Structure formats: C-alpha cells, structure tokens
Amino acid sequence: MSTVTIYRMNHLRTTVALALGRTARILSRRFHLGGGTSLPGQIARSIEPAILTTICTALPDGVILIAGTNGKTTTSRMLAAILEHTGEPLLHNRAGANLLPGLTTVAITDTDWRGRPHARRALFETDEAALPQAIAETRPRLVVLLNLFRDQLDRYGEIDTIAGNWRRALQTLPETSTVVFNADDPAIAGLTEHLPARVIGFGLNDTRHAVAAATHIADSQFCQTCGHRYHYRHIFYAHIGHYTCPHCGRHRPDPQIALTTLEPRGLDGSELQIRHPGGQLQIHLPLPGLYNAQNALAATAAALALGIAPATIGVALTTFQAAFGRIERITAGPNGPPMLIALIKNPVGASETVRMLTATTTRPLHLLIAINDRFADGTDVSWLWDADFEPLAGRIARVTVSGTRAADMALRLDYAGVDGAAITVIDDLPTALDTALATLPVGETLAVLPTYTAMLDLRAEIARRGWAKPFWET
C-alpha cells in the first residue's frame, strides 16, 4: 500500500470521525440525552483512535493538562479565565468531562472538517487514572499536578498506584515541557525529581492556617525514599503541609510561587498575597476556603509559567466565577432564597467543605446533603466515615439528607453528634430540595453538599425549574 493511499485512508477516517462525533453531540442535546460531553468523543475515537493526537499536535501553543484528586475543575476554570483575559481562543473541557472521550469531544467540536483546530491552545482537566494516557496522546507543554488523595477506592485503589503511573508518564516529557506541582503534597513533590522537564513548585507559606495536629485522613505519611514516617512542622489539611523525613532528609522543596498571606473574608472570599520571582501579587479571590486559595495559587503558577503578566492574572482571578457545583451560588427562583452548592466526593474534600462552612459563619447552618453511590461517585461509601463531619455537631439548625445512600449519611451525622431532631431523610432529591427550601428561614442560605451524580441530578432539576443553565452551558 502506497504512502499516498495510507494518507488518504487516515484523512478519510478523521473526516468521518469528526462528522459522526459532531452529529452525536447535536442529537444528544436535542433529544435531552445528556450534555453530549463524552459520547461524541467515544464515537470519534472508535473510528480514528489517533484523532486526539492529530488535533493536539496541530495546536500552535500546545496543550495544558491539569490533574489531581481535588480542585482540578476549579483550577482549570481559573486558568481558562486568565488565558481568556489575554484574548486567546482556547479549547477547554469546561463541562468537566475529564476522561479521554471527554477530551476528544472538546477537540472535535472546535476544528474544521480536516481536523485543524481554530484555537491556538488546549486546556484539559484530566482524571487521575487518565493522565498517563492523556500525556501520551496530547504531548502537553504544561502539566499541573495539584494533589493525590484517596478517591473512589473501588475504581482506582490507593494513591501509590496512581503515583507510580504518573511517575512513568512524567518521565516521558521532553525538556521543552514544564511541570507545575504542589510542593506541599509529598506524594506529588516526589514525582518531580529527576524529570527531563522544567519543574516549578507552588506552596502555602501562611502557617497561621495550619491545623494543630495530623488528621486521620492523611494518606501520604511515609517517605518515598526510605519508608520512614514524615515529620510535619505545619499541616494545613490531610497530608498537605511542610514535611521532613527525619531519617533520610527528604523535605518539602522551597516553592518558587508561594501564598504568603491569606486573609479570609467569610463567604465573600479571601485576600491573597502571592510571592513570585518577579515580586508580589495581590488578589481578592471571590471564593472562600483554604483549598480554593490553593487552587488560585496553582492557576497563578501555571499562568506565570506561560509568561502571562501578573496584572492580568490578578484581574482574571478577582472577577472569577465559580464552576458549577464548586462553591456555586444559585438563587432558587426570581424571589427565592440563595443556595450555595459545594461538591463533596472524598474524605478530604468533604472535610474541607465542612471546615469552610463552619469557619465562615457563626450562624446555625441549613444543609441539604445528597449522597449517591453510582459508578461516577464510587460505589464504596465507607469514605463518609473517614470524613470529618464532627464540626457540624451543635452547628446545624436543620439538615435534609437525600440520595441513594441517604440513610448512610444520616447515620454518619448521628455518630458525628448532630442532633437527630435536626435530621430529615428524604430519598427523592427534588422532594428533598423542596422540603429544605420550604423550611429555610428568611435571610438564610441553603448549603447543598452533593456527591458527583447527585450534583448532576440537582443541576438537571434546577435547570428544569429555570433557576440555572444546564451544566454544559455554564
């Protein structure tokens, strides 16, 4: 078979894959079969397995991948906002479909009929398990590594498995690539040693926000070199902090980009001061919580690595709007009460959300917690017992519990010391939402804490009621 014939066959497969993938996306949305965020890419990949590589290699400014157990959607949205402030057109999986079919869907929807992208750069948040294959297929110029925690053990196993896969993939990056990493996570920092690629660390230096002692949900407690337990001078949450191995001396690397000051402003966000090689950057971040400040720090480090001016970064983050379900504010109808929606999906994320809620107000809390155990949530909900719900004891006015594992969540709250009289169990989510809103006093906010598929169910319901757009339009 001649070279010309092979080229024509490959070109034909690409054209057919693009056409059928785009058609699937249109039909999915027209007939309300979902957002069309993954199926189109799955179809395209079945016809032309190399289609993602073909499109990504045609991007003049290459690909950015963002990976981590927690924070990748918010961090990628923050970095996208910064890039958009430069006027740069961008391929971005904004809807959060972060497996290879989701990345491919985004790629095929913004190209011409030959597969040539209209944008100059792609930004993909990437599932932990998909990162090695994403690196192989997209050949990224920038990889951002946020954290590694236990998440959906029935799907992925312990973090050592993921870390080993990441290490092998990162070793394939060339010297022209850059890895931006969380220096406060020993599971992440250890992966960046001896890489061919350039590495840039970011970290938290405002130790006023450290906790008094190690938490029971610290996953990476032992040195990757000698196996001895790390000693922590400061712990911010889980195993995130300033660590040293007393046996071999491995320690937290000094971050080039550091959050030196964090001043909380309640639910209105935080005032941040970030030190970077060119000076200091002041930011008002309109999202509360230490973990959102860390997301902003990661986005800042990535943007600086791309050569973006600090002033542009500051403006973009100051005007940033939350991604759907990530400390997202929604009004329940034209004259309805406010809701604050915060995804919980693993022990660390749930614990930090509880920490944020209890730290930002002294008023009694009104909650709706929706726990599902579908595949995308993880069918093993034993993580509820590792999450720190104990700070809610004595702080809840009323909590409505819903979802396929509502009874498990109600039991967990009972063991956490929450007054049983304040707990209402309603399996059906729309009914639970109505009940929680009906019992909400005037002037209060309903905080909604759903797992992933419960968040999608909730989003579909509030979109049906006209309170917000479908998730793929946010």
Cα–Cα distance measured from residue 268 to residue 287, given in angstroms and rounded to the nearest whole number: 6
Task: Confirm whether residue 56 is marked as ligand binding.
Answer: no
Query: Where do we find the tokens 């938290």?
Result: 204
- Of residues 433, 274, 300, the one with CA closest to residue 369: 433
Question: In angstroms, how far is CA 450 from the centroid of its own chain?
Answer: 15
The whole-angstrom separation of Cα 292 and Cα 286 is 9
User: DSSP states of 199-245 as a string?
Assistant: EEEEEE--GGG-BSS--TT----B-TTT-PBPEEEEEEETTEEEEE-
Rounded Cα distance between 194 and 215, Å, is 31
Radius of gyration of the chain (CA): 22
* Residue in the structure block whose two tokens are 């290490």: 167
Query: How buried is residue 48: exposed, middle or buried, by Cβ count under 10 Å (0-12/13-18/19+)?
Result: buried
Annotated catalytic residue, options 254, 380, 414, 428: 380
SS3 assignment, position 144 = strand
Q: What DSSP designation does 406 have?
A: H
Does 226 count as an annotated binding residue? yes
Whether residue 380 lies in the annotated active site: yes
Outline where 416-451 has alpha helix (H): 429-438
Residue 304: C-alpha distances to residues 168, 274, 277, 296, 298 (Å): 26, 12, 9, 12, 10
Give catalytic residue positions.
380
Binding site, by residue number, is: 223, 226, 245, 248
Binding site for Zn(2+), by residue number, is: 223, 226, 245, 248
